[in-house]
Structure 1
């Protein structure tokens, strides 16, 4: 029989060994295999996979009924969306208020990292799209397009800056998530400056307690994630069949190629520099990634991601601040989608873009991406705003992409992985990272479950 303390990782006893030891106290003949059925039945991953299989089968055998399952997914995402503004305000406010003196440069470092990733993702998406030309020869030409289109006249720089100012104003006035985040940053900054005063410290502790309560509520809501996944997959399979618009699949393939290139060429080296491998991180976050994949919303996984990254060894305040702000300012997958879609539609319309045109597009996309959020459909809305600003294609051109919007799983997965890697990188930059052994390939841990989400807390 395995003793619980034999799997101790230096942080917390191995949950499997602890469970076996407890079970052996009541049953001397207990074995690890006797516990496996119970563990499988309670596995979130298994529930999601079963829901996915059932949804796919319904979509194949009864497409009409399958398409009626869409409200199951939409309702789940809507409930998460109602709770998320409160969660983001509380997490950002408590995170900023709890920053220690050694972390005062955190905000600047977060901003520099996010903007660097935005530039890299946009540039990589532009490069892959220009090399593959997914919109050339598709036969889906967009009509009613202005023939004298030119996004880079002599005053292109002035135009770009004017467009940038317009988008910033629109983002601040029309993006409620961004407004909530700014309010949280302001509240947290004021509380941090007044740190040490009795009432301020009491308010900060109250924020922490409210966050814990809200996390518990979200965990109850997430119990319905398999139902949402069933509805999403059933609708997708019922809606798209072998006769779907085949030319658009080329655009989807290029999107997956660009996102894969970003993960391999950018995120993998960063994760390795932090002392782990990206694959180990993916295994650690498998439940959250499955949830994101089959609901189409990264917001639903935020509570679990915060707990998993804290358990992996990231400082609590750094984790909360980076992940919550990253849900608006570090959406690498959405950036790749934005630039790829614009170039795809331009190629469909036989518009030849010069190097200056591409640089102008990158600048405008960098600004319009600030108006994105992690809510489902936000990237498509940002694309519409960008095209209206640039006057590249009419509205019907954008409508061509709506048919494959639900196939863009790579976009949301890249967003999530990008934010988790950002959490590791910035925590390492702040000297606030003590990697848990399972995601550190140099240690070779045998632990099957993460330690308590409460650890590590370096306040």
Structure 2
């Protein structure tokens, strides 16, 4: 199991409350909100702190994923097992991503947050969303598949395309496994390299409060709490639906698989607060993978499921897409039939995969979906552009939680879950974060 040096620290040595990471991040979020609200211009200038932290984390994501997956697969003697794990993961991803889309569709029809706005589509100016529409046209399923293929064997290690990293890591893991014992030195080297790489992760996480402070101060300073106006119903509906999905849907999944969703959320609280502060689920990817290993999930399972889920298991994004699409239709007094809504659902299932791994994927996938649904004007996206940032945190939180739960479930299916270790991790009373 790959862990950081901090994980091996004496558990009896408890940190003072202000030394605990999630407390520091929580304080930073509160201070950032206050700064952005009372001094919006100063808050806007804090943006580089958030952007810089996310850039630092993205810098280390490629080696973390590559080492974890390569070592995990290389340690597997049965290559059929790799395919079986991937197959089960995708069955889970497709099932729950579709369920998230359906739940968003049902809630939108019941609550109807856009009803009463009476917007004339001809008065909407689409210039502000042109960049997203352009990216949406470039994120077709065919282009998506072609983008998975790396230009060279090592180029993904210097980029941020998670799927390309997955491709070379899987290929390298299989190649090392099938050329043993000649490749044993390569495997030993990667295992040794894991220690300094994860130590870098540990060091970078100490900067998390600064990154969260900068990101949240910019968001509040730039967009303002009051800027939501009449769109607050959509924001509240989206947050409530996401909470329902996590607590009820994922809660039932967790219970069926032998663990409590609330204890699980407490276990990953550091990562949740980090995502809340930065609006980026990628910021928590390296430490989430470590946490899943410590919770008893086998390293190969973690290496395959977590990074793949970041591209294919976007529960929060899927809820957002159906809610937002129907909000625009309701706001423009467009009555979508059941058939049209079903078509919208099917298109959303495809487009959400087509823009996987794209920065700002939530808004771009919505553009890609509306581009092929003639009933709903794509210019209607201008209605939610101003509040999209307020929903991005919830999208990222729901996406990450769904992927963490998926990892435990797939590990259990494969009998690669140490249930005793999971129980100990979720019931630990220590306030130490690592």
Give the TM-score, by structure 1 length.
0.79
Cα deviation 1:386-436 (Å, max 9, x = unaligned): 222334555542232221122122211111110111011011101111234
Which fold has the larger relative contact order, with Cα–Cα distance below 8 Å and residues 6 or more apart in sequence?
2
Identify if the C-alpha distance between structure 1 residues 250 and 445 changes in structure 2 by more than 3 Å, giving closer, same or farther: closer
Identify if the C-alpha distance between structure 1 residues 242 and 14 changes in structure 2 by more than 3 Å, giving closer, same or farther: closer
1:178 paired to 2:160: no
Q: Which residue is equivalent to 2:153?
A: none
Q: Which residue is equivalent to 1:317?
A: 300
Unaligned ranges ≥5, structure 2: 1-6, 125-135, 149-160
The aligned runs of 1:129-140 (5 Å cut-off) are 129-140=108-119
Contact 1:280–1:440 (Cα < 8 Å) also in 2: no
Q: Which residue is equivalent to 2:231?
A: 248
Q: CA deviation at 1:367?
A: 1.1
1:74 paired to 2:58: no
1:124 to 97, 103, 120: 103
Instruction: Measure, in 2, the Cα distance between the counterparts of 1:432 and 1:420.
Output: 15
SS at match of 2:334: coil
Cα deviation 1:137-193 (Å, max 9, x = unaligned): 124443268xxxxxxxxxxxxxxxxx999832121234643333233333333434x
Give the TM-score, by structure 2 length.
0.83
Report the count of equivalent residues: 402
Instruction: Measure, in 2, the Cα distance between the counterparts of 1:416 and 1:242.
Output: 25
Q: Which residue is equivalent to 2:88?
A: 109
Cα deviation 1:176-218 (Å, max 9, x = unaligned): 43333233333333434x15x2233332333333343322222
Contact 2:139–2:354 (Cα < 8 Å) also in 1: no
Instruction: Measure, in 2, the Cα distance between the counterparts of 1:74 and 1:323.
Output: 23
Cα deviation 1:226-277 (Å, max 9, x = unaligned): 1111112212222344542322111111211221221133200111122110
Contact 1:438–1:447 (Cα < 8 Å) also in 2: no
SS at match of 2:115: coil
Q: Greater CA radius of gyration, 1 or 2?
A: 1
2:274 to 291, 296, 300: 291
The aligned runs of 1:136-285 (5 Å cut-off) are 136-143=115-122, 167-174=140-147, 176-192=161-177, 194=178, 197-241=180-224, 243-285=226-268
Identify if the C-alpha distance between structure 1 residues 177 and 242 changes in structure 2 by more than 3 Å, giving closer, same or farther: closer
Instruction: Measure, in 1, the Cα distance between the counterparts of 2:361 and 2:193.
Output: 28
1:419 paired to 2:396: no
1:428 to 412, 417, 424: 412
Contact 1:45–1:290 (Cα < 8 Å) also in 2: yes
Q: CA deviation at 1:320?
A: 1.8
